[in-house]
Structure 1
């Protein structure tokens, strides 16, 4: 990767054939309400980005007909130029922002901007994951997790691991982690899981009933990429418990209405955070407030990501990394690209 003085590398995603290439483009110029940031790291949102490669740009929310794009939404770097109307930021500030995989990015600064100052004590490698921390924390808030409330988390990718940690911080007990990979379950123990279940070897419903003395889990989080496990999640829930859809699984789910939803009076909640860019009287937890909470907890050591970062690699290795991700969930979890 040897860009010229006026060019900057970036990752370009294509879905036909699926793959990722490192290309260069002109360094962007910030407008009046924008910052130019030189990224040190960008973090991979494996679910969203692999959906682009598997199912096309529309699965990523891009318009019909777009076949190639510079995607991604987690980055950490330093401000190198400030638009004339921007206040609150200056050259040299270390920030985390919603920005694609690229060395140089422009970031809008407005009331809904996804950009935060990174405090001392938080590494570049961890800081970018506050975007997923925001998703996980919102989910735990919507579930209203309480001290000694039983929690089960299906799917121990990065979002599931973060949900587990926020439930731990909220005082939940027991904390039950469910996945198909022993490696991710071992990581879940370090995230705070009190019990781990490998769904490929054990009957999940029976094990959760055993752990909860027959009651079921009071809050069940669906953080997996398989839509079909919604029925199992409902079977694992306690009477009048909640099932919270936290991941973004593609496809459809089939559920029984009478046995679980009706008779157990379950609450099934989807979480997406649309329209939560600012606080209001009935929901004070804006996305920015969640991100700041994540960064504060990282700085104090209460929220830890170091054990979840399996690949911190130069961006030149990106094409091979995405091929690994497309092959399945074994052998990786938190992925960070270094741009320096």
Structure 2
């Protein structure tokens, strides 16, 4: 039997056994090597840190099976499968389980040079790429990324790839800013955004940045992001808060003519979808243009899941990538 992580209630995680069917025509069975905790999403769910009546509330029902990004090996291919074969290493958008059966086109081939530990970052990079797209990043255009957690780290790297300048990361945790600097930011500020605005203005030549990307998912950051942006600037809501009713507009929207746009994993278009973005990500990692060194700070066996989620909740200042090793 296979194994998977399960949330059985608020702040309750364990592992259960389950039967996995054989792959049918057009499907493949993938044996998981590694999966990556999405500390933002999974801990909102784990702690039930969301308001009643939100999409989070409608989504989270028990038993809840966490996770959405993994690296694995194709173990068996069903009839008619041609793009992958047994032994191929692939990236899949699936949760924390020892194996999965997925349709063929959900598998993304992984370059040999990209490690098993780095592969699961592809999904977080894909999510942040949705924010990069709507942010209209361009050469020499100033940007502030608020929150240097996993999604923020990926957003920073897309800003670097786009040639944004200056690229300013803001987070109250010093370790995260150091990782952002390794990822290519030109300036890092270890403060809450509300206390960093004067410094941001100074870096940007006396005015705010053209774009503010809020990757935090924290409702209180929204008003400060509006205050930070320059006149006619753009605020991108990349972090999905569990308390949207607590995000409030301010007079900055009208007085500065701000453009507010949300970005979400589900906002794919024919010219910007998960396959295109994932292949771009893997090529940039392979060619060393997308730095991931040091982002994985913790690794656990699946049986240590309670410890892993406790670490994610109690040691935020020490964690970034939390991997589950299924090998």
Q: Could you say which residue in structure 1 is the equivalent of 2:21?
A: 28
Contact 1:51 1:60 in 2 (8 A): no
Q: Secondary structure at the match of 1:306?
A: coil
- Over 3 Å counting, the alpha-carbon distance change for 1:64 and 1:228 in structure 2 is closer
Q: Could you say which residue in structure 1 is the equivalent of 2:308?
A: 321
Contact 2:145 2:169 in 1 (8 A): yes
Contact 2:298 2:321 in 1 (8 A): yes
Q: Using structure 1 for the length normalisation, give the TM-score.
A: 0.89
- Over 3 Å counting, the alpha-carbon distance change for 1:266 and 1:202 in structure 2 is closer
Partners of 2:182 and 2:157 lie apart in 1 by 9
**Which whole-Å deviations, capped at 9, do the CAs of 1:138-177 have from their partners, x for residues lacking one?**
2112111111111101001111011111101111111111
CA positional deviation for 1:339: 0.6
Q: Could you say which residue in structure 2 is the equivalent of 1:95?
A: 90
Q: How does 1:254-269 map to 2 (within 5 A)?
A: 254-258=247-251, 260-269=252-261
| 2:155 maps to which of 133, 155, 163 | 163
Q: Secondary structure at the match of 1:43?
A: strand
**Which whole-Å deviations, capped at 9, do the CAs of 1:9-47 have from their partners, x for residues lacking one?**
21111224x221122222432122211000110111111
Contact 1:70 1:100 in 2 (8 A): yes
Kindly report structure 1 stretches of 4+ aligned residues shifted beyond 6 Å. 56-60
- Over 3 Å counting, the alpha-carbon distance change for 1:298 and 1:87 in structure 2 is same
| 5+ long unaligned stretches in structure 1 | 1-6
Q: Could you say which residue in structure 2 is the equivalent of 1:183?
A: 175
RMSD: 2.2
| 1:231 maps to which of 223, 227, 231 | 223
Q: Does 1:12 align with 2:17?
A: no
Partners of 2:231 and 2:42 lie apart in 1 by 36
Q: Secondary structure at the match of 1:269?
A: strand
Partners of 1:166 and 1:207 lie apart in 2 by 23
Partners of 2:180 and 2:256 lie apart in 1 by 29
CA positional deviation for 1:80: 0.6
Q: Does 1:52 align with 2:45?
A: yes
Q: Using structure 2 for the length normalisation, give the TM-score.
A: 0.93
CA positional deviation for 1:306: 2.1
Q: Could you say which residue in structure 2 is the equivalent of 1:212?
A: 204
CA positional deviation for 1:71: 2.4
Contact 1:14 1:53 in 2 (8 A): no
CA positional deviation for 1:201: 9.8
Q: How does 1:1-340 map to 2 (within 5 A)?
A: 7-16=1-10, 18-55=11-48, 66-110=61-105, 113=106, 115-200=107-192, 203-252=195-244, 253-258=246-251, 260-274=252-266, 276=268, 279=270, 284-327=271-314, 329-340=316-327
- Over 3 Å counting, the alpha-carbon distance change for 1:21 and 1:59 in structure 2 is farther
Contact 1:138 1:290 in 2 (8 A): no
Q: Secondary structure at the match of 1:80?
A: strand
- Over 3 Å counting, the alpha-carbon distance change for 1:59 and 1:168 in structure 2 is same
Segment of structure 1 superposing worse, 290-299 or 243-252: 243-252
Segment of structure 1 superposing worse, 247-256 or 171-180: 247-256
| 5+ long unaligned stretches in structure 2 | none
Segment of structure 1 superposing worse, 245-254 or 53-62: 53-62
Q: Could you say which residue in structure 2 is the equivalent of 1:4?
A: none
Partners of 1:256 and 1:64 lie apart in 2 by 26
**Which whole-Å deviations, capped at 9, do the CAs of 1:269-311 have from their partners, x for residues lacking one?**
10114352x62xxxx2222101110011011111121221101
CA positional deviation for 1:59: 7.2
CA positional deviation for 1:70: 2.4
Partners of 1:255 and 1:212 lie apart in 2 by 25
CA positional deviation for 1:61: 5.4
How many residues matched? Answer: 324
Contact 2:300 2:308 in 1 (8 A): no
